[in-house]
Amino acid sequence: MTLLSVRNLQVHYTTSAGTVRAVDGADLEVPAGSIVGLVGESGCGKSTLGRALMGVLSGNGRIAGGSIIFEGRNLVALPEHERRALRWRRMSFVPQTAMNALDPVQRMSAQLLEVLRERGGLPQAAARARAGALMQLVGLDPRRLADYPHQFSGGMRQRAMIAMALANRPKLLIADEPTTALDVTVQAQILETLQEIQRETNLSIILITHDMGIIAEIADRVLVMYAGKIVETAEVEPIFGSPLHPYTRGLLSSLPRLDASVGDLPSIPGQPPSLNPPPAGCAFHPRCELSQHRERCRAEIPGLVHANGSQHDVACHFFTELRVPAPAASEER
């Protein structure tokens, strides 16, 4: 069953230099009880997409078109008070700056109780019991509810933010770079916690990250985003085993490998384009390895198409030329 379905979503920012089309016609689906990874370089629009789904865009941002169907309701058409009623109840958010999102002058208990009572409607006693259970759920000692955020480590603050996001048992969690600035050991612990919670509660998660390694570890399906558009989507195995978009291949080639010789990591040449306005044709064509086809790519925007009728979709005019499987992680370059 599909929990969330997004069609032709467009998000614009008004700036002094003009209108920035940060999300430019994105389509995606999130099945109930799944983990969907949203990946791409910085500036590709993935965080804006997550914030648009939650309805928490900055003041100069707006949804310019498209639909967001969540549990059968089009969120774009809802009045703000109805959207607000969904936030922290049916859908929740772990922001990119989660470690700094806690109020430094309030104890953890006060912050969790506020979410449980103001948004969840729980009486005081039930809210206190639920707060303790939430701390245990994310691997924290309930006695730490009496502490202030500065008394928590980075990993503990991240867990506390996840506890707040899960306080009212949402059906969808949008986690924007939930392991940023954490060391690899703590990162692994946070990801394991998310997986355990997802399995126990049938929670759906959109995991926004630039780290393809994280996606390989925990996601069921992958959405690859570039210049405000979804350019490839499939389950994890085909994305990593046989990516069909040159951009996806570039992202995977940039992953460090233990078996490779010491040296510079491969990188995608060039820079992401300005989205004010977005370039004509395929936004990736100036950086694309299929340079012999640049005339068509420069003039015509590729839409997402099914690859061999499967659930592997790609937006590339010439993806059939990349059908040879990408190098396996164990192969030498």
Domains and CATH numbers, the chain: 2-226 (3.40.50.300), 229-322 (no CATH)
* pLDDT score for 178: 86
Which tens digit of pLDDT belongs to each residue from 188-197? 888 888 898 8
**Do residues 26 and 49 make contact, with C-beta atoms less than 8 angstroms apart?**
yes
Give residues with Cβ within 8 angstroms of 214, minimum separation 6.
37, 179, 187, 191, 207
pTM: predicted TM-score of the whole model, two decimal places: 0.90
Q: How far is CA 172 from each of CA 87, 190, 247, rounded to the nearest angstrom?
A: 10, 18, 28
Name the pLDDT band for 259 (thresholds 50, 70, 90). Answer: low
Question: For residue 140, what pLDDT band results from cuts at 50, 70 and 90?
Answer: very high
Q: How confident is the model at residue 331 (pLDDT cuts 50, 70, 90)?
A: very low
Q: Treating both helix axes as pointing N-terminal to C-terminal, what angle do 124-137 and 154-165 enclose, rounded to 10 degrees?
A: 130
pLDDT at res. 332: 38
pLDDT above 90 coverage of the chain, percent: 62
Residue 262 predicted with pLDDT over 70: no
Dump pLDDT digits (tens) for 98-139.
Answer: 667 899 999 999 999 999 999 899 999 999 999 999 999 888
